[in-house]
Amino acid sequence: MSENLIQRTVSAYTYPLLIKNLLQAPAVNDPQQEIVYRDQARFTYGEFRQRVCQLANALTEIGVKSGDTVAVMDWDSHRYLECFYAIPMLGAVLHTVNIRLSPEQILYTIDHAEDDFILVNEEFLPLLEQIKGRIDTVKEYILLQDGQQQPETTLTFAGEYESLLAESSDSYDFPDFDESTRATTFYTTGTTGMPKGVYFSHRQLVLHTLSGMAALGTVVNHGRFHQQDVYMPITPMFHVHAWGVPYIATSLGIKQVYPGKYTPDMLLKLIDKEKVTFSHCVPTILHLLMSHPLFNELDLSNWKILIGGAALPKAMCKAAMQKGIDIFSGYGMSETCPVLTLAHVTDADLSDDEDLDIRCKTGRPIPLVDIKIVDEKMENVPVDGQSVGEIVVRAPWLSQGYLKDQRNSENLWRGGYLHTGDVACRDKHNYIKITDRIKDVIKIGGEWISSLGVEDLLSAYPGIGEVAVISLPDNKWGEKPLALIVTKPDYEINEKDLVQYIRSFIAKGMISKQIILLKFKFVEAIDKTSIGKVNKRLLREKYMQQSC
């Protein structure tokens, strides 16, 4: 390919995509617009910009320099938002520590990320005390606290956040540098092994922000995010930058509300008092909010909520809509910055059921996202709303690997596409619907069959209390399915009837013919993980041995 790059005049400014440039318009249009922290503090955008400069000066004074890693351990706060900007804008890396991990795992991530500095909320001091003798890389700690009281701790601090800011100049000339400079790092937790680090450059975060603005802004009505919304995250800022929405909200220059540690009471009061119109959370958090007495009392008809992290159950979606909430789904993962798809309803003429159906789908790609749904040979599966394959993806904001982990990085990116491990189908309107994790799919004679679909059918059978369908290796078919069934007390299940039941769905074309191979095993209990999910990995190991 012959090169025909644009010529740059000597004096011409080559504009890098840096996080500092997200503070250009429209973020500056209304300097009086507010950033609110719980019921405790309010700052204007003008003050926010000054505080970002003060933080940069304070960190520089303490010794932070370009290339250093600065970790933050805090609940969602105005401070965290200031760190989202000041730390990367210095050329340093922001490590958003997952404070839900065990102390040993946190120690592992601090070590692995090679944190040079840690900004820590006083609430996490007991946690740090447990591991502090073994932290080798950290030079200084900075104390974050809401009150004034000196905390009891054996740690020493370079200073307290607010005092440091107060002593620092409110102007800072942030330098230009390569847009591929690492801006952030954080750790994902799988079901096996230690946490894996992902990382994002300035360019990636800027492009994720722009594409997110374009996707959320240009929908006609449902799930729109615009310049007059009021934003409050309910996905932690340590988790994939609160899905990147704080960068979008700040770029829009809108009012933002940071709720600190999540409690249903505080969250609902803030939505009401600060007139929050746009949030995002996982289904379990929404469930907590919906179960709180305040939920029924409040008018939430101006609230839009983006659900991700797990499939949005239809019942939950319907209940939220009945309350007047504009609810919809999105999809992404830690490795993808995260947003890949959004499930916006763009057709006003749908029936209520169709509308509900779309809101609970995985969604359609946002601009620049190239999603393929492929079989094991990386060939596209048919776009028919039925055929399933693995979601593989390209976008300008995907983690280019796992930090210092060559083997897992190559596996993530095999074939030049990021492998999500999610199995999905796609319909003719480009809506994607995840049906399984790839490890839970049963592959019979080259065909991929959803274990969840079979489980749904079996759950409806009289007397079946609990069920898990797993796949076991098979010489002839590759894999064959096994249903583990816990019978309800006082029931007895006739296996022949059950086979007949399953065959009736095969006959109707509702499930694959290959399900004829399904075997049943009646068990006392089904193994779960520590958070209550069916542990299919363990079940496969257990029953594979028994069947050998």
* Residues annotated catalytic, as ranges: 188, 335, 443, 448
Interface residues for a second copy in 409-468 (CB under 8 A)?
Answer: 409-410, 412-418, 428-430
Q: What single-letter amino acid sits at 138?
A: V
Q: Is 218 in the site for a second copy (CB under 8 A)?
A: yes
Q: Is 275 in the site for a second copy (CB under 8 A)?
A: no
Q: Is 215 in the site for a second copy (CB under 8 A)?
A: yes
User: Considering beta carbons, is residue 398 or 483 the nearer one to a second copy?
Assistant: 398
Output the CA–CA distances (angstroms, integers) from residue 144 to 77, 93, 128, 310, in the order listed.
10, 19, 14, 32
CA pair distance 7, 323, nearest whole angstrom: 57
Interface residues for a second copy in 377-406 (CB under 8 A)?
Answer: 394-396, 398, 400-401, 403, 406
Question: Residue 196 is encoded by which pair of tokens?
Answer: 């894996």
Neighbouring-strand partners of residue 400: none
User: Considering beta carbons, is residue 226 or 314 the nearer one to a second copy?
Assistant: 226
Min. distance of Cβ 21 from a second copy in angstroms? 5
Q: Is 12 in the site for a second copy (CB under 8 A)?
A: yes
Read off φ and ψ for residue 522, nearest 5 degrees: -90, 125
User: Considering beta carbons, is residue 25 or 548 the nearer one to a second copy?
Assistant: 25
Residue of 247, 246, 404, 412 whose CA lies nearest to 335: 412
Among 57, 98, 121, 181, binds a second copy (CB under 8 A): 181
Output the CA torsion sign for 118, 122, 123, 126.
positive
Interface residues for a second copy in 475-514 (CB under 8 A)?
Answer: none
Among 50, 54, 235, 251, binds a second copy (CB under 8 A): 251
Q: Is 13 in the site for a second copy (CB under 8 A)?
A: yes
Among 95, 304, 359, 364, binds a second copy (CB under 8 A): 364
Question: Do residues 130 and 106 lie in contact, with contact meaning Cβ atoms separated by under 8 Å?
Answer: no
Min. distance of Cβ 46 from a second copy in angstroms? 11
Q: Is 252 in the site for a second copy (CB under 8 A)?
A: yes
Give the interface segment with a second copy, choosing from 144-152, 173-181, 434-442, 502-510 (CB under 8 A).
Answer: 173-181
Interface residues for a second copy in 91-110 (CB under 8 A)?
Answer: 91, 93
Q: Is 10 in the site for a second copy (CB under 8 A)?
A: yes
Min. distance of Cβ 408 from a second copy in angstroms? 9
Per DSSP, 440 falls in state: G
Q: Is 425 helix (H, G, I), strand (E, B) or coil?
A: strand
Interface residues for a second copy in 335-354 (CB under 8 A)?
Answer: 346
Number of amino acids touching a second copy (CB under 8 A): 87
Output the CA–CA distances (angstroms, integers) from residue 228 to 128, 208, 529, in the order listed.
40, 21, 43
Min. distance of Cβ 76 from a second copy in angstroms? 23
Among 3, 352, 490, 492, binds a second copy (CB under 8 A): 3
Q: Is 63 in the site for a second copy (CB under 8 A)?
A: no
Residue of 282, 395, 419 whose CA lies nearest to 337: 395
Among 70, 86, 207, 517, binds a second copy (CB under 8 A): 207
Give the interface segment with a second copy, choosing from 70-78, 215-223, 238-246, 454-462 (CB under 8 A).
Answer: 215-223
User: Considering beta carbons, is residue 13 or 352 the nearer one to a second copy?
Assistant: 13
Q: Annotate 470-535 with DSSP letters as a single string.
A: EEEEETTTEEEEEEEEEEPTT----HHHHHHHHHHHHHTTSS-GGGGG-EEEE-S---B-TTS-B-
Give the interface segment with a second copy, choosing from 5-13, 152-160, 276-284, 313-321 (CB under 8 A).
Answer: 5-13
Output the CA–CA distances (angstroms, integers) from residue 191 to 217, 254, 528, in the order listed.
36, 38, 12
Give the interface segment with a second copy, choosing from 6-14, 263-271, 292-300, 526-534 (CB under 8 A).
Answer: 6-14
User: Considering beta carbons, is residue 77 or 256 the nearer one to a second copy?
Assistant: 256
Question: Do residues 242 and 55 lie in contact, with contact meaning Cβ atoms separated by under 8 Å?
Answer: no
Q: Is 370 in the site for a second copy (CB under 8 A)?
A: yes
Min. distance of Cβ 239 from a second copy in angstroms? 20
Q: What angle do CA 487, 490, 494 make, to 5 degrees?
A: 55
Output the CA–CA distances (angstroms, integers) from residue 120 to 24, 99, 263, 473, in the order listed.
29, 10, 20, 48
Among 81, 113, 158, 369, binds a second copy (CB under 8 A): 369
Among 63, 67, 190, 473, binds a second copy (CB under 8 A): 67
Q: Is 226 in the site for a second copy (CB under 8 A)?
A: yes
Which alpha helices (DSSP H) does 219-336 contain, by range?
240-243, 245-252, 264-273, 283-290, 293-297, 314-322
Q: Is 177 in the site for a second copy (CB under 8 A)?
A: yes
Question: Do residues 228 and 254 lie in contact, with contact meaning Cβ atoms separated by under 8 Å?
Answer: yes
CA pair distance 47, 166, nearest whole angstrom: 12
